[in-house]
Structure 1
Amino acid sequence: MDAKPEILLAGANDTRLWGLTSAERVGRIAAAQGLTMAVGSDVRLPALIVNLAYAFDPAWLKYVAARPNHVVTRGGVPVLAHVTDSAAGEALFAMMAEDQPLGSAGSLILVPQEDAGGIVNDELRKRDTPFIERLIPSSVPALERASYFGAYKGVTDILTKYLWPEWALVLTRLAARWRITPNQVTALGALLCVVATILFYYGHYWPGLAAGLGFMVLDTVDGKLARCTITSSWWGNIFDHGIDLIHPPFWWYAWGVGLAAYGRPLDPRTFWICMGVIVAGYVVQRLIEGAFIVRFGIHIHVWRRFDSWFRLITARRNPNMIILFASLLVGRPDLGLIAVAIWTLASLLVHIVQLFHALIVQAQGRPVKSWLG
């Protein structure tokens, strides 16, 4: 197995991005990717030299670390270089320290950021060109925006993708400025989640929706804050995703019970049919998604363009909340719950078709791979 490169920092930069200096940010990115930082300024091979005059998406460090003898440039200036030759390493270190453009590449492979094309990010389910920009005080707002949207999932639900990205950006900036941690944001969101459940249970749907909206926005903020400040953790991931996974059935049950207090109760038979369809449909959909990852190594939502489009509206929490919100606008939250049950069943059927279609494609000897690749 090839040795991992040791990271060597070139230059100096005290400008802060998300409250971190360039060196602090690179250190956190390196630690998250299992890379070590060099001690001193000696170029020990293999080395991954980083120009501190620039800020870049973490995806670039992972990209270069896996590609010996590659140099990523911005405007002709070397920003990241994975070197295995001491002479090349010393020359590149000097260029970066003096912030000089690269002259001759020699045997190195140049990757201009402007011409790199897309890089697939499996975790965020998207393909794009990650940012690299000079880090100076005047560029901080634009860089924070670029890093925030760089941390956004490309394939997600319609509300997360289109309704509150700008709201969540403001809250993410405030949280970073006030030194609020991602886990603290998750904890506040969890409290709002419980409050929404209680309000639904007693038929107080409008304040319940307000609390639920707050929770859903914070559910975006905690992840973006963790990625932008490079503070993701095992516990934070379990805490956040555990709440996301468990709470939806409780919301739908509380909504159904609250119909009596609201004055639109469902008869017991209809109520339990709806609950059975919604809960069973939700659980089976998640099991299918997990089985798809185990079998094919990709998320079901990134296989084909249709699958990514369907993720916008599939019967998960946020699209279901749109249905319930619309039903409340016309004063019929009872019909909203029935509609959620119908949509859950329809979405489950789509998932079943997706899984069996993929199995057929694989049986025919054709690859099941993401259209983003």
Structure 2
Amino acid sequence: MKVAHTDINRLTLLGANQTLIWGMTNAERVQRMANEAAGKGRHIAPGNSLAVNLQYVFDPILLREVLRKPNCAFVLNGELLIGQIDPDIVDIHPRQQDGLEIIELGGGYRIYNEQLRKLETPYAERLTPQTRRSIERRSYYGAYKGVTDLLTKYLWPELALWLTRGAAQVGMTPNMITAIGAILCITATFLFSQGHYWTGMLAGFGFMVLDTVDGKLARCTITSSKWGNIFDHGIDLIHPPFWWYAWGLGLRTWDRELSPSVFWVIMGVIFAGYVLQRLIEGVFMRAFDGMHIHVWQRFDTWFRLITARRNPNMVILFVALIAGRPDIGLIALAWWTAISLIVHAVRLLQAYGERRAGRAIVSWMEANA
């Protein structure tokens, strides 16, 4: 097997492969993965080399696991995928190397992916022109968060895959996608305020889909950046209350305008509920070693599908709009926000109670890994 040495984090690339995946060679993909890991403070143990087989594309989580456990290697059907190996014996079959932990993929091997909040079976597949599209599909779905809302999880994954693949092929960056989404987000806000709910919904739908695409493009092409995360998550965090406020302003054009007292009570519930719910999520993470409240128990994972975040709230407004009552939709949104806030508050108190009782607070996914 041909061995190509690079100076990036003592990376040893095994073999060669010219088949492109997500618009780049496998060697470029591996080097981006290694650079990203180094930027997060994950390094190779002294004296070791990170050996990667370019004939295969594998789940990036395997790189994390290999860097976490020195003298560890993943294999598929006995063939090396990635491992921390003594560079002097890299050409020797992994099973012939003393002291090397061999992990065979398959057979139900699973890892808890804390970043994406899911329990997953890592993928690995030989990269050829015939398998490229299937591998892109696997890596795309591998980059999907396991705990998210029902629209992101069930409605538009295939549309977002098509857009992600197209963006990668034409060389668009995740920040370009985020910028287009931001324009649609602002447009939706304006349209809602003018009572143009259907066109606002269309603009909002485009933004919500692109909000999925930019993250998937960043993960699949290994081009995440600190600025990109701030840009994307900042928009996600700030805009929802403005959408609901603009929706309320637009009611006047439908002759469904709420009285000032009712309007401001509803706005108070929506704004306070949104902020307090996000604060509870932050308190939970701070109190329980960075774990998201939505991955604690199975109920929390299920409730994340429908909790009062932007996408489920848009479902409420969409149904109300079909019925010709956007005003009732806004009132229902306020009620659902209050109910979701109560659920989150109760779950936080229950978690504190579990810890006081001496029971560990761990994700049900991690416990089942």
TM-score with structure 1 length normalisation? 0.92
Q: How many angstroms apart in 2 are the aligned matches of 1:265 and 1:177?
A: 47
Matches within 5 A, 1:55-66: 55-66=57-68
Alignment-mate amino acid for residue 136 of structure 2: E
Quote the Cα distance in structure 2 between the aligned partners of 1:34 and 1:115.
31
1:267-282 alignment, distance < 5 Å? 267-282=259-274
Q: C-alpha separation between the residues in 2 aligned to 1:5 and 1:245?
A: 35
Instruction: Give the whole-Å Cα distance in 1 for the aligned partners of 2:79 and 2:232.
Output: 39
* SS of alignment partner, residue 136 of structure 1: coil
* Distance in structure 1 (CA, Å) of the matches to 2:300 and 2:28: 39
Kindly provide the amino acid, as one letter, of the partner of residue 77 in structure 2: G
Q: Note the alpha carbon deviations across 1:304-361, whole angstroms, 9 max, x for none.
A: 0000000000000000000000000000000000000000000000010011001111
Where does residue 43 of structure 2 map in the other structure?
none
Is 2:360 the counterpart of 1:364? no
In structure 1, what is the Cα distance between the partners aligned to 2:315 and 2:91?
58
Partner of 1:258: 250
- The C-alpha deviation readout for 1:141-197, integer Å capped at 9, x for no partner, is 000000000000000001000000000000000100111110000000000000000
Aligned to 2:90: 89
Matched-pair contact (CA < 8 Å) for 2:184–2:204 = yes
Runs of 5+ consecutive residues of structure 1 not aligned to the other structure: 37-43, 93-101
**Pairwise CA distance, 1:90:** 4.0
Are the counterparts in 2 of residues 6 and 45 from structure 1 also a CA contact under 8 Å?
Answer: no
Give the aligned residue type for 2:224: S
CA contact (8 A) 2:48 2:84 kept: yes
SS of 2:253's equivalent in the other structure is: helix
**Superposition map of 1:194-273 within 5 A:** 194-273=186-265
Partner of residue 77, structure 2: 75
The alignment's C-alpha RMSD in Å is 1.6
2:336 aligned with 1:343:
yes
| Match of residue 26 from structure 2 | 22
Pairwise CA distance, 1:88: 3.7
Match of 1:120, as an amino acid?
Answer: Y
Q: Which amino acid aligns with 1:234?
A: K
Using the alignment, how far apart are the partners of 1:126 and 1:147 within structure 2? 14
Please give the alpha-carbon distance, in whole angstroms, between the structure 2 residues aligned to 1:287 and 1:223. Answer: 23
Q: Find the aligned partners of 1:201 and 1:5 in 2 and give their Cα distance.
A: 52
Structure 2 unpaired stretches of 5+: 1-7, 41-45
Q: Give the corresponding residue for 1:99.
A: none
Displacement of 1:69: 2.1
Residue in structure 2 matched with residue 168 of structure 1 by the alignment: 160
Alpha-carbon shift at residue 86 of structure 1 (Å): 5.3
Instruction: State which of 133, 149, 168 in structure 2 corresponds to 1:141.
Output: 133
The AA in structure 1 aligned to 2:267 is M
Q: CA deviation at 1:265?
A: 0.9
Q: How far 1:116 sits from its partner (Å)?
A: 5.7
Aligned to 1:97: none
Distance 2:344 2:329 in 1: 22
Moved more, 116-125 or 216-225: 116-125
1:31 and 2:70 correspond: no
Cα pair 1:201 1:255 within 8 Å, conserved = yes
**Larger deviation, residues 248-257 vs 60-69:** 60-69
1: CA distance, partners of 2:11 / 2:273: 48
Alignment coverage as a number of residue pairs: 353
In the alignment, the residues of structure 2 paired with residue 244 and residue 71 of structure 1 have an alpha-carbon distance, to the nearest angstrom, of 38
Confirm whether residue 185 of structure 1 aligns to residue 177 of structure 2: yes
Equivalent-residue separation in structure 2 for 1:312 and 1:81 (angstroms): 37
1:123 corresponds to 2:125: no
1:208-243 CA distance string (max 9 Å, x none): 000000000000000000000000000000000000
For 1:346 and 1:175, the matched residues in 2 are separated by: 39
**Structure-1 separation of matches of 2:324 and 2:39:** 56
The secondary structure found in structure 2 opposite 1:372 is helix
Classify 1:260/1:68 alpha carbon distance in 2 versus 1 (closer, same or farther; 3 Å).
Answer: same
Cα distance between partner residues in 2 of 1:56 and 1:243 = 32
Which amino acid is the alignment partner of residue 321 of structure 1? M
Change in 2 beyond 3 A, CA 1:86/1:49? closer
Distance 1:118 1:165 in 2: 23
